[in-house]
Amino acid sequence: MKMMIAEIAKAVSAENDVTGYQDVELTSVAFDSRHLKPGALFVPLVGNQDGHRFIDSAIQNGAQATFWQRGHANQPTNFPVIVVADPLKALQDLSRYYLNKINPKVVAITGSNGKTTTKDMVASVLGTQFNVTKTHANFNNEIGVPVTILDMGANTEVLVVEMGMDRPGQLDFLSRLVQPDVAIITMIGEAHIEFFGTRSKIADAKVEILNGLKADGTFIYDGDEPLLSQRAAMVDFDQLTFGRNGVNDIYPTEIHDQPAQTSFVTNKWKDFTFTIPMIGEYNVNNALAAVLTGALFHLRPESIRHGLNEVHLTANRTEWLTGNQGEAILSDVYNSNPTAAKEVLHAFAETKTTGKRIAVLGDMLELGVQSKAMHESLAESLNPALTADIFLIGTDILALRDKLAAKYPASALHYYTKDQLEQLTNDLQKEIQHDDMVLLKASHGIHLETVLNNLVN
């Protein structure tokens, strides 16, 4: 973004007179005083900590102005301040104003699994023909989506925005904020089932992404999922489906797994082979959503193929790395749920290696009363003949350890509590040989990224 304070003050209905500062130009927004760029507008959010306390740090690091909650103590003097009733709402209002000002096409993406990967693929495909801005990292909530919008350059033609949710109403708000031209739902899984109770209720919350979809917008979804097909029949939008079944608008007619990539052919272009730089047939579904989006934007198949082949993936999503001892590491440590874990375990077991396969698995969080059974269910995806050693860490994953004890020897089954990351790392490093493959998969709260960092640095 690039806006004068006077324009920002008007957009957020500032409650103070900014005369004297009106011509100060702001070029970004930030809510973390430690990580902002010179020229930033600081947004002091009030949550677990009060962001207003860090205004001095923000100024020292280059903030050029700040929102300030009406009546909050210690308002800065001799520094540009924009007084608002609520800094978060002001951030959201400013993003809505800026989105209307730049007026890009908007592609909004959600789903229990695959939304980040699909976001990366869609952005890469559309980026072959358009100026694209996409969600950075996991900036996909009520704070992150506005920041994503305000990160757009003035030349942005397409905004690809990821939307997460952990409660009803969240996607309704985000969808109405961005007013997408295209809404994509990758799939319905068990993520956050602790808060929703059933997959059906998760589906209800996911289709809230349609609440802000423009009247002439397009809904793209997994046509193999009855929970989505049933709800799609109740809305009046143009619709396109992807999946494995021949009734979908696009489906794979061939899939070829390779050590570090997956190739596929579709019914849409039978003479074209698309390749994605990641393993796992489950990632083909994410790619199909990107292919449909590219076709919707009138891209030629050559451009779509190039975009998929050159996609830059967000870190720690089925990312291949090389460890200190030369081992191949499949890092998928950002998050985990039963569907995603089973899919990556299957893909990992199918990947060829001259050494042995070692799986490091941590708790899958937010599964509620079904957690024990869902952790146990991972046992069906683990075979000693394919994955030789299992390292487990967490609390609920004890259920998986007990289930695996019937088919794995005790010497191959290792368990650690959440505070034993260092011990796990040390034991794992002793076990790994240079030609082995290691999978790391857990919910982010287990912090397997700490293990990963020790293995590669």
Choosing from 58, 85, 112, the residue where a domain stops is 85
Neighbours of 449 (CB within 10 A): 17
Whether pLDDT at 335 is above 90:
no
Q: In the sheet where 81-84 sits, what is the strand order?
A: 28-30, 40-42, 63-69, 81-84
Residue 195 located in a structural domain: yes
| Tokens (6 digits) for 424 | 């796990």
pLDDT recorded at residue 306: 98
Q: pLDDT of 150-169, one tens digit each?
A: 999 999 999 999 999 989 99
C-alpha 164/C-alpha 142 separation (Å) is 9
Binding site, by residue number, is 111-117
Per the structure, the complete domain to which residue 60 belongs is given by: 3-85
- The answer to whether residue 160 is domain-embedded is yes
Q: Where is the binding site for ATP, in residues?
A: 111-117
Contacts for 48 with CB less than 8 Å, ≥ 6 apart? none
**Does residue 137 surpass a pLDDT of 90?**
no
When pLDDT is averaged across residues 437-452 and rounded to a whole number, the result is 95
Query: Is pTM, for the whole model, over 0.85?
Result: yes
Query: In this structure, is residue 314 part of a structural domain?
Result: no
Q: What is the CATH number of the domain that holds 342?
A: 3.90.190.20
**3-state secondary structure at position 287:** helix
Choose one of 309, 333, 352: the last residue of a domain. 309
pLDDT of residue 362 exceeding 80: yes
How many domains in the chain? 3
Mark whether 273 and 419 lie in a shared domain.
no
Per-residue pLDDT of 57-95, as tens digits, reads 999 999 999 999 999 999 999 999 999 999 999 999 999
Asked if residue 133 and residue 57 are part of one domain, the reply reads no
Residue 386: the pLDDT is 97
Between CA 393 and CA 162 the distance in angstroms is 29
Q: Check whether residue 170 and residue 73 sit in a common domain.
A: no
Band of pLDDT at residue 197, cut at 50, 70 and 90: confident
138 shares its domain with 280:
yes
pLDDT band of residue 173 (cuts 50, 70, 90) is: very high
* Partners of 42 in the β-ladder: 30, 66
318 or 2, greater pLDDT: 2
- If asked whether residues 285 and 199 sit together in one domain, one would say yes
- Mark whether 196 and 288 lie in a shared domain: yes
- Are 261 and 333 members of one domain? no
In this prediction, residue 190 has a pLDDT band, given cuts at 50, 70 and 90, of confident
* Mean pLDDT along residues 4-22: 96
pLDDT number for residue 318: 81
Do residue 68 and residue 125 come from a single domain? no
Average pLDDT over residues 348-363: 96
Closest of 291, 240, 237 to residue 264, by C-alpha: 291
Domain with residue 66: its CATH number is: 3.40.1390.10
Residues 399 and 441 both lie in one domain: yes
Asked if residue 95 belongs to a domain, the reply is no
Residue 401 scores a pLDDT above 80: yes
| Residue 279 clears pLDDT 80, i.e. is over it | yes
Tell me what the pLDDT averaged over the chain comes to.
95
Q: Considering the domain boundaries, does residue 91 fall inside one?
A: no
The CATH code of the domain that includes 244 is 3.40.1190.10
Q: 7 and 151 share a domain?
A: no
Contact predicate 90/73, CB 8 Å: no
Q: What gap in Å lies between CA 200 and CA 228, rounded to an integer?
A: 9
Whether 99 maps to a domain, the answer reads no
**Burial zone of 393 (CB within 10 Å; 0-12 exposed, 13-18 middle, 19+ buried):** buried
User: 110 and 74 share a domain?
Assistant: no
What pLDDT is stored for residue 315 in this prediction? 78
Assigned domain for 98 exists: no
Final residue belonging to a domain, choices 283, 309, 335 = 309
Name which of 129-143, 326-340, 411-425 the model is least confident about: 326-340
Task: Specify whether 333 is located in the same domain as 273.
Answer: no
Q: How far apart are CA 50 and CA 53, in angstroms?
A: 6
Tell me if 252 is assigned to some domain.
Answer: yes
Is the Cβ–Cβ distance between 430 and 438 less than 8 Å?
A: no
